[in-house]
Each structure stands twice: as structure tokens, then as C-alpha cells.
């Protein structure tokens, strides 16, 4: 039980740190201006919409299968986690 809770806390902390890192890197890119800034702004919005849509689909599918709300929430969180990690890797390189 304790290790599961610690894993969840660590994952939440990592997600928060990754999110803040992506926000900072995107702001720097957009502040620099130019076509790269416009592309990044469009990409940011389209990725958020896509992650939301995927998350809602996963959540509804899990709930319709009868899984618990906790399990469904974990599954619905996965698209956001993937998107943030992918963006952090992309923006760091």
C-alpha cells in the first residue's frame, strides 16, 4: 500500500515538473517570435485538444467496461502524461 502511494506521489511530482518545464520552454520559444513561435502556439492548442479527446474516450470506454473510477482515472491520465513527456523531450533537444 505504501509503495503504491509513494509511486503515485512520485508520478504526480514528475508530471508537475515536466509540465512546468514544457510551459517554460514553450514560453521562451513563443517569446522569441517568428514562424517557430506561431507553429508552437498552433501545436500547443491542437495537442491539448487531441489529448483531451483521447482522455475522454479512454475514460468512457473504461467506465462502460465496468472498471472502477480510480482505474478509469489512471487510464484517462495517460494521454496527458504521454503528451507532456513527448513535448519535454522534443523541446529539450
pTM, to two decimals: 0.83
What is the four-CA torsion angle of 79, 49, 21, 92, rounded to 10 degrees? 80
pLDDT, position 75: 93
Domain boundaries, the chain: 2-92
Say if residues 24 and 91 touch (Cβ distance below 8 Å). no
Q: Tens of pLDDT along 6-63?
A: 888 899 999 999 999 999 999 999 999 999 999 999 999 999 999 999 999 999 999 9
Helix, strand, coil % (nearest 5) of the chain?
A: 90, 0, 10
Amino acid at each position: 500500500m505504501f509503495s503504491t502511494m509513494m509511486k503515485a506521489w512520485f508520478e504526480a511530482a514528475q508530471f508537475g515538473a515536466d509540465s512546468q518545464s514544457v510551459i517554460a520552454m514553450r514560453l521562451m520559444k513563443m517569446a522569441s517570435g517568428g514562424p517557430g513561435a506561431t507553429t508552437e502556439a498552433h501545436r500547443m492548442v491542437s495537442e491539448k485538444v487531441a489529448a483531451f479527446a483521447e482522455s475522454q474516450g479512454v475514460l468512457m470506454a473504461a467506465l462502460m467496461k465496468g472498471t472502477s473510477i480510480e482505474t478509469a482515472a489512471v487510464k484517462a491520465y495517460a494521454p496527458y502524461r504521454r503528451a507532456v513527456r513527448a513535448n519535454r523531450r522534443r523541446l529539450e533537444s
